[in-house]
Structures are given as C-alpha cells and as structure tokens.
Amino acid sequence: MKPIVTAMREVNPQETSRGRQFEIWKNAPNPMLTFVKKVDVSRLVRISKRKHLKFNMLLCYCIGKAALTQREFYLLPVGDKLMQFDKIAINTQVMNHTGEVSSCDIEFDGDFERYCRDYMTHTAEVAASCIDRDLSEECMVIGTSAIIDTELEFGGGMYSGIFNNPFIIWGRYSRHLWRYSLNICFQFHHTQMDGAHAGRFLSSLQREIDRLAL
C-alpha cells in the first residue's frame, strides 16, 4: 500500500504571524466572522455566455486566484492545533444523480486550463458516484456554495466547531441595465485572518474578476 502523501503539518503558532490570534480565539464559542460584499460579475457573465463556460467554475477560479498568494490562507486551526498547508483547493457543492448534494474538492494552482478540466471531470464523477471528493488532508480547502435558485442579500455561515475552513456563499446574480452583480458572503475563522486580511481578499477577488482573460 502506498503511503498517504500529505501537505499538512502542525506548526508552533508562536512561530507564525497568527500566534496571538490563535491564543485569543482557540477557545472562543464562535470564532467565525462573515463579511458581505457586492461584486461586479459582468465580465464573468459575458465570458460564460461567449465561451460556453460555467459561471460558477469561473467564479471559483477567481476565488482561487485571489487566495493563492495570500499567506493567511495556508494556515488553519484544526482542533487545538494550528496547521500549515502547502497547497489550496476550492470546494464546490454538486447536485448528484439522486437530487441530493455531494462535496467536491479541486486542487488549485492558478492554471486555468487545468482547473477548468479538473472542475468538469471531478464534478461529473462526484455527481455520478455520490461519493465526496475530499482533499482536506492535502490542501487548505476553501468551501463554496452557490444557491442559484434565488438572489441572496445575505448567506450566513455555520460554525460547527469541527470545520474551520473559510467558506463563501452566493446566490443568483442580478442584472441592472448592462451590468451584473452578486452578493458574496465570506465566512472565515478569526485565527486564520483578521478583518483587514479578509477585506484585502475580497478586493483582490474583484480585481481577478475584472482582469480575467482567456
């Protein structure tokens, strides 16, 4: 049997930039924060229609690009430990063939062609098998959930005390004249990042959307 290759390792919180926050928030009953930002997704809508690409795949790609170079995304509290990751992945919720939802993690390295191929391949596999694809031992996973049946003003996250991963929720985009907008709800653990880091990520997400070029 081949050994499991892991890119997750425990680190001493005091040897990272998040040591103080780890001590403050490790025993908090609810250490999660949620930010909401209206994002202009006009470019993604046009690319999706012109190139016949899934809108949610394009948005997940831009989320990955915005997170890829931000160091806070590579640290995550897991139980009473602080873990360091070498890689990130984007999770998407997939409607499987029974009509229920399955979870699909897709590794992200910034290569659009690879991500597009992996997204289409793995989401189809998960939909057919109803078996979750879990990379949480290998990657710091950013969760996403698209509620496309309705427009959302706000989507509050859930804190179970088990999963501390950042999580992003959105609904159906809305149109005003020739522009399209979407409310992005970003939940994150306060040990992983502060509000300023989260704000920087959301601003970076808008920039990645605006400059996406295929």
pLDDT digits (tens, 9 = 90+) for 63-110: 999 999 999 999 999 988 999 999 999 999 999 999 999 999 999 999
Residue 81 C-alpha from the chain's centroid: 21
Give the burial class of 170: count Cβ atoms within 10 A of its Cβ; 0-12 exposed, 13-18 middle, 19 or more buried. Answer: buried
Q: Kindly list the structural domains of the chain, giving each domain's residue range(s) and its CATH number in brackets, ordered by start.
A: 30-210 (3.30.559.10)
- What whole-number distance in Å separates Cα of residue 30 and Cα of residue 158? 10
Mean pLDDT of 187-208: 97
pLDDT in tens, 28-45: 888 999 999 999 999 999
Query: Tokens 């998960």 belong to which residue?
Result: 126
Distances in Å between the Cα of 83 and the Cα atoms of 6, 18, 110, 152, 164 are: 12, 11, 22, 33, 11
Residue 3's pLDDT is 39
Size (the chain), residues: 214
As a whole-number percent, the residues of the chain with pLDDT over 70 amount to 97
Residue 82's pLDDT is 96
Q: How confident is the model at residue 1 (pLDDT cuts 50, 70, 90)?
A: very low
- What whole-number distance in Å separates Cα of residue 63 and Cα of residue 92? 12
> Would you call 91 helix, strand, or coil by DSSP?
strand
Residue 4's pLDDT is 44
- Run of H or E including 37: strand 32-40
Residue 138's pLDDT is 93
- What whole-number distance in Å separates Cα of residue 125 and Cα of residue 106? 12
pLDDT over 90 at 123, yes or no: yes
The values of phi and psi at residue 196, to 5°, are -65, -40
Q: What is the mean pLDDT of the chain?
A: 93
The values of phi and psi at residue 33, to 5°, are -120, 150
Q: How confident is the model at residue 7 (pLDDT cuts 50, 70, 90)?
A: confident
Query: Tokens 């979407």 belong to which residue?
Result: 182
Residue with the bigger pLDDT between 142 and 8: it is 142
pLDDT in tens, 139-154: 999 999 999 888 888 8
Pair of tokens at residue 205? 């997400």
Q: How confident is the model at residue 6 (pLDDT cuts 50, 70, 90)?
A: low
